[in-house]
Structure 1
Amino acid sequence: MRCRLFCLAFIPLLYGSFASGAELKPGLRLSAKGEVGLAQVAGQIRGLRPWWQGGTGQLAADHSGLLFGPQLLALGADLSDHWSGTVHAQWHDKPSQQFGVTEAWLSYQPLPFQGYRLSARAGWFYPSMSLENTDIAWSSPYSSSFSAINSWFAEELRARGAEFSVSRPGRFFQSAQSYQLVAGFFQGNDPLGTILSWRGFAIHNYQSNIGERVRFANYPSIRSGGLAAQPDWVQPSRELDHRVGYYAGVHWLHRDNTELRFYHYDNNADPLVFRHGQYAWRTSFQSLAWQQQLHEQLRLVAQHLNGRTEMGPKAVDLSYRSWFVLLALQSAKIQWSVRYDHFLQQDKDQYPGDDNNGKGHGWMLAAQYPLNPHLNLSVEWQKLHSMQPNRAQWPDWPKDKSFSQLNFLFNWRFD
């Protein structure tokens, strides 16, 4: 409660200093955003509290009433003509009230070579797979909540490594098409797949901090037998087996109207390793993101994910896929957004007491009305329906369940 009161006092002070034109030193860049409001929750019953409270609920709010969203901060610094640094930090109250860092990296970008642009970065960061999460500190400009795909990335996907890219900008070569090739090598994402396997996909806007633990339900199936060593939490950024994971991607841009990003990601973890209270999960997937400017005021954003994760000697073997389509319309002063999510998990292991199958879909509708360049009001409605057979491990928890949430939000930002 003290953290929440501090946050309420901090927001107007921070906004006041930004709105009054506070100046930064040359070479420093500061941006921030946050939200606070009211939530109306339906579909929550005893035992189906959200995952961050040790339940199996797949929306973030645990009750109707005051809602504190993440308060985000992005700081950039030009260290020289070619070197720069970036830090993304936040305060959140889910899964616990705390400040933390979500990303931090050092970038190097030399002068172009015969029109080609080379760049590299090292640190902790998300690979640039998402065309939905393009706002301050990897948030979304379209809605408070993220799609099921990017909600999972926000929880479990974080690479500690190095990334290299080469770009061929179309304007320099007098072409309508631009290309970028990306390759990354990393450690520290060995438990990737834990939450997805037991809870399934969820829809929210909470990013895990580097080094943070994220809870999920203490299922009876992981209290004994071959899964007994697995705790009811995961620390996604843990390094367990000292193996190097990798990813590769290609970006294609046609003028400023069409953009595609394709990535293959493989954490290369040894699923037989158990260390620091965590299993390593061998997780790989392919992601294809698409953005299309349909009209000057209408944009489409979509993404498809397909992958597999494995833990132990076939103790868990799961394939998964998800996709979403989002439309954003700028009408007069209001930005309207609608998103449809679909997701599926298929259990392929032979462990009879732990059914990790699951499927579901969800809708999101949002409207944002700006009061001024730094403040706006928004209304967002979410509805999610899911079928998770592992909820039947408790006699009073329904396998098939719908959740809904209506948020009235006051948003602030500076950039």
Structure 2
Amino acid sequence: MKYLIALLGLLATPAFADTSLFARENIKGWIDLRAVSANGEKSWLDGHYGKLRYGDQSKLSLGEATLIWTPRFTDTLSAYVQVVHVPEWGHETGINEAYLKWRPVPKSGLRVSARLGQMYPPVSLEHEGTGWTTTHTITPSAINAWVGEEVIVQGAELSLKQTFDDQQIGVTLGVFRGNDTSGTLLAYRGWALHDLRSTTTAKPPLPVGNAGWSQTFRRQSPFTKPLKEVDDRQGYYLRLDWRPPVPVSLNFTYFNTHGNPTDFDNGQYGWATRFFNFGAKYEVTETTDILSQVMVGNTKWGRMRTDGVRAIDADYRSAYVMVSHRFDDGARLSLRGETFETEDYSAPSLDNNNETGHAVTLAWMRPVNAHLDLNTEVLHIDSDRPARAYQGLPPQQDQTQVQVMLKVKF
């Protein structure tokens, strides 16, 4: 018996040789402080139809405080837990991503990895930084701002990547639950540009007025819960990647909540939401990149009417192109232009969810040292949303937001 125990000990030693739970390398975080000035309409975070995080104000603000724990259990198994404090969310502190990750040592050109837990599907090309943060601008595009607020899931993901002599192909498949309200913000509020990320406790507010959804669909809470499970059905996503033998990378993602659009639970409706996302990155030089994403999708809820349309039935589309240049000192200058729209097929005379808009963003991101970043951004947006009339506002609005961010890392 003692020889069996010794043998098991020898077999276990290599696997746990790299265990690290609370070393300095396992814990990191930051505090994000901002000086902000924005004109135009009030923010959607205050129950309005404004498209930006800040609106009609100038102030000093805490952007967020983040703590990340990345324990390593073996040389192939690790975990990731991120706790975020955001002043604007309904419950200010919560867990953003939290998952186990398995990545075996590759023995050929095939690389395998898997994740299990709460996470973002691999959609964004902009969130390449630690803690699913942006590396080109302070504010992500409308596409990835929406991913950050409504496309967080709880599930399992398997990724396979095969490298050939001069190219690489990849397949990622995910199955999830806990995302049944995805589409609520897109329909009732429309697109928005901000850097907020959902958490287990977040309650993003919906616009209110004397008409529209708040009068037509009174069972809906005045907020949405992005991680709410309503119908006990599993959603899924599929991503395909291709890196050809040229400085270009291409990807395609299909995402489907597989939601039951007739279910309802405690003020939250189940939504059937799906989208196609196309992404491309062109490395013009070693320091200059061009990034682009195009997303098209549909979201709906409610029983089917005789005309084949549900109570809410809307298509949504958005696209951006960004040029980014990195300087020798690590600073980065980026310029992004984008367009977005929603098209309402249900009952716009009662609850008009149509929308069109454009935005331009210019950002300067500069690392001062290993513990301090100084970032500046100017964002201008114009949009037309008839639902603004429910709050006594003209449908067409434009505004400019200027931010200076000081990010202190530890």
After TM superposition, the score normalised by the length of structure 1 is 0.87
Structure 2 stretches lacking a partner, 5+ long = 1-19, 304-309
Comparing 314-323 and 107-116, the one that deviates more = 107-116
Deviations 1:378-410 (A, max 9, x none): 22101110101111123x311000011111222
Give the match's secondary structure for 2:212: helix
2:338 alignment partner, one of 332, 337, 341: 341
2:400 alignment partner, one of 386, 404, 407: 404
Shift of 1:332: 4.7
Shift in CA distance, 143/114, structure 1 to aligned 2, threshold 3 Å: closer
Number of aligned residues? 382
2:250 alignment partner, one of 252, 260, 263: 260
1:213 alignment partner, one of 203, 206, 210: 203
Structure 2 counterparts to residues 231-380 of structure 1, below 5 A: 231-254=221-244, 257-313=247-303, 314-333=310-329, 334-350=331-347, 352-380=349-377
Shift in CA distance, 378/142, structure 1 to aligned 2, threshold 3 Å: same
Tell whether the 8 Å contact from 2:90 to 2:202 is kept in structure 1 after alignment: no
1:192 alignment partner, one of 182, 196, 203: 182
Structure 1 stretches lacking a partner, 5+ long = 1-22
Tell whether the 8 Å contact from 1:73 to 1:137 is kept in structure 2 after alignment: no
Deviations 1:27-56 (A, max 9, x none): 953333342121111113xxxx21121111
**Equivalent position amino acid for 2:212 in 1:** S
Q: Distance in 1 between matches of 2:195 and 2:255?
A: 22
Deviations 1:164-216 (A, max 9, x none): 1211123xxxx111111111111110000000111111111011112421102
Tell whether the 8 Å contact from 2:93 to 2:201 is kept in structure 1 after alignment: no
Q: Distance in 1 between matches of 2:120 and 2:337?
A: 23
Shift in CA distance, 127/231, structure 1 to aligned 2, threshold 3 Å: same
Give the match's secondary structure for 2:240: strand
**Equivalent position amino acid for 1:202 in 2:** A
Q: Could you tell me the percent identity over the aligned residues?
A: 29
Q: Distance in 1 between matches of 2:91 and 2:182?
A: 23
Comparing 189-198 and 385-394, the one that deviates more = 385-394
Deviations 1:289-343 (A, max 9, x none): 1112111221111111000001112111000110111111123534211111210
Shift of 1:24: 8.1
Q: Distance in 1 between matches of 2:107 and 2:201?
A: 38
Tell whether the 8 Å contact from 1:83 to 1:107 is kept in structure 2 after alignment: yes
Tell whether the 8 Å contact from 2:91 to 2:203 is kept in structure 1 after alignment: no
2:47 alignment partner, one of 26, 51, 54: 54
**Equivalent position amino acid for 2:32 in 1:** E
Tell whether the 8 Å contact from 2:137 to 2:334 is kept in structure 1 after alignment: yes
Counterpart residue number, 1:100: 94
Larger radius of gyration: 2
Shift of 1:413: 2.9
After TM superposition, the score normalised by the length of structure 2 is 0.88
Tell whether the 8 Å contact from 1:211 to 1:236 is kept in structure 2 after alignment: no
Counterpart residue number, 1:11: none
Q: Distance in 2 between matches of 1:114 and 1:142?
A: 34
Q: Distance in 2 between matches of 1:377 and 1:34?
A: 12
C-alpha root-mean-square deviation of aligned residues, in Å? 2.0
Counterpart residue number, 1:392: 389
